[in-house]
Structure 1
Amino acid sequence: MNWITNYVRPRMSSLFSRREVPENLWTKCPECGTMLFHRELAENLQVCTSCEHHLPITPRARFTALFDGGAFNEIRYPEPLADPLQFRDQKKYPERLKAAQKATGEREAMLVAEGEVGRTAIVAAAQDFSFMGGSMGMAVGNAIVAAAECAVRLRRPLVLFSAAGGARMQEGILSLMQMPRTTVAVEMLKEARLPYVVVLTHPTTGGVTASYAMLGDVQIAEPNALICFAGPRVIEQTIREKLPEGFQRAEYLLEHGMLDRVTHRKKLREELVSILRMLTRQSPPVAGDLPAPGQPVVNLPADAASA
């Protein structure tokens, strides 16, 4: 037995061999190309520390940053038929759903929750673009109806974060029917005289824009978010003309009266608190009364929250 060859050399090779680095430690900013460390990016709410570009953020991460102490109660909504049209393209629809559920850890493209934001009780709903493009199917319709019903029952404002590529083609006309259905849900809030605030994030397109995403009492957007029905490429091909710079982006829509505000993600929570307390005729927030970051918050019972 050669002791140097069989023991020493493998031992030294293992000590000095290159360690494999996990692929998800760094994210490249699509706007400026800066490599961003995952922890630093998460602490900055998925906003590039170099150019302030807003990267996608999951609904759970958004709610953790939004609600006091990161505490919220998830609201369950009815699950629709798994594959009502027996739709199949390159894959069966149930297979695509399972792949999206595995990749995101969520059962559908929308998360609904209730809790407190700056001591202000709200109901919130957020779409996940990473779940089949945030497409609006029957489950998303069920989620918005459940969110509206919960808001009416608890007498709370509803805040909705939109991010979608439009209707879900695998559900055909059933998906398109969610447009009038969610519009009726929004009307429930208006009849109950409860605020409905929409935060449009990148991208918000298609039937979502043509329904609940543009029906808010206050319309807020994140910087440079694409907000449209038909995309700019489709419009250019149709009219055969070059579109203006920044067409259908949040700042362009703000200039043309389609939005009320364009707000940076890190300032959004503070602005929502001020707007919601104003619309619900509550006193302005007092900084000393707000919970410290990371401080646990006990959710109020329904009766106390609606008082």
Structure 2
Amino acid sequence: MLKGLFKKTKYITVNPDSLNNHKLDKKPVIPDGMWVKCPKCGKIVYKDDMDKNYKICNFCNHHFRLTFKERIKYLADKDSFIEWDKDIKTINPLEFPGYYEKITNIKTKKQMNEAVITGKCSIAGEECVICVMDSSFMMGSMGSVVGEKVTRAIENAIKLRLPVVIFTVSGGARMQEGMYSLMQMAKVSAALGRLDKEGLLYICVLTDPTTGGVTASFAMLGDIILAEPKALIGFAGKRVIEQTINQKLPEDFQTSEFLLEHGFIDKIVPRYDLRKVLSKLIYMHKV
């Protein structure tokens, strides 16, 4: 009597209607940009979760690079940011082949005018002048417009009696502008010298990567120098230095942690604490 209950059927019948008219071999549709692979630990991170976590990997704490819009969104009080010198245009002083076309293409694609944005904002109620570099525009390289915008921002800070906060991320001086680019190191440094004489605070926040002429100038001139965890910070590349001095360098060489240990920076601050730390520092050093 029970034997028939356990009888194995030879074929499985599938009702076509249950497939909702979909093909069996059709691949699931996953929207682009929904998931992000962490370059450090290799784990797949849900983008919305990462955005809520300040673009920090939930598994290994890796800090992804931010655009200037993301940086301001995470840092500044809502609707407090006022941009300055938006319409300063990059020219091609050396008539470097293809430079003008490259700049034009990046402007159109990235919807930004240069590798730095400057202006005024408040951070947890504390007013300051802010400059944010962006690696998505020619790797944050420093050309004449970058130097001019940062210099003007510092000069405005002197007039307004406000502290200056600069977020650095750069591959160094922009080779397409040659000596014009290198001159920005002296120009910005001179402006910071005037800021210092006025007794106004300058905080520099080093992010990944900060290298070349930016490191050799205003990135290391802060009254207080902060850095994000595991950021690459240096002047020349590690391989170039090893070939020059004919020595093997430590694995963590040119990281935030190495620089903190050797006294080059004051503190490593995770991104989720930056807003609180900056507002406290600005409050403590009010003129």
TM-score (norm 2): 0.89
257-266 vs 39-48, which moves further: 39-48
Secondary structure at the counterpart of residue 177 of structure 1: helix
| Matches of 2:152 and 2:193, distance apart in 1 | 13
Aligned to 1:244: 250
Deviation above 6 Å: which 4+ runs of structure 1?
A: none
Secondary structure at the counterpart of residue 71 of structure 2: helix
Could you tell me which amino acid in structure 2 is paired with residue 182 of structure 1?
V
1:220 aligned residue (226, 241, 248): 226
Shift of residue 142, structure 1, vs aligned partner: 1.2
Alignment of 1:1-307 (within 5 A): 12-13=21-22, 17-69=26-78, 71-76=80-85, 79-88=88-97, 92-280=98-286
Q: Call closer, same or farther: CA 1:182–1:78 in 2, change over 3 Å.
A: farther
Secondary structure at the counterpart of residue 173 of structure 2: coil
Q: Call closer, same or farther: CA 1:117–1:81 in 2, change over 3 Å.
A: closer
Shift of residue 50, structure 1, vs aligned partner: 0.6
State the aligned residue count. 269
| Matches of 1:237 and 1:70, distance apart in 2 | 49
Q: Is the 8 A contact 2:43 2:59 kept in 1?
A: yes
Q: Is the 8 A contact 1:77 1:142 kept in 2?
A: no
16-25 vs 259-268, which moves further: 16-25
Shift of residue 248, structure 1, vs aligned partner: 1.2
| Matches of 1:39 and 1:165, distance apart in 2 | 29
Whose relative contact order is higher, 1 or 2, with alpha carbons under 8 Å and at least 6 apart? Answer: 1
Shift of residue 77, structure 1, vs aligned partner: 5.1
Shift of residue 12, structure 1, vs aligned partner: 2.1
13-22 vs 65-74, which moves further: 13-22
Shift of residue 18, structure 1, vs aligned partner: 3.6
Bigger Rg over Cα: 2
- How high is the sequence identity, in percent, across the aligned residues? 42
| Matches of 1:247 and 1:116, distance apart in 2 | 35
Q: Is the 8 A contact 1:112 1:147 kept in 2?
A: yes
| Matches of 1:207 and 1:179, distance apart in 2 | 7
101-110 vs 72-81, which moves further: 72-81
Q: Is the 8 A contact 1:209 1:227 kept in 2?
A: yes
Let me know the Cα RMSD of the aligned residues.
Answer: 1.8
TM-score (norm 1): 0.83
Shift of residue 20, structure 1, vs aligned partner: 3.6
Which ranges of structure 2 fall in alignment gaps of 5 or more residues? 1-16
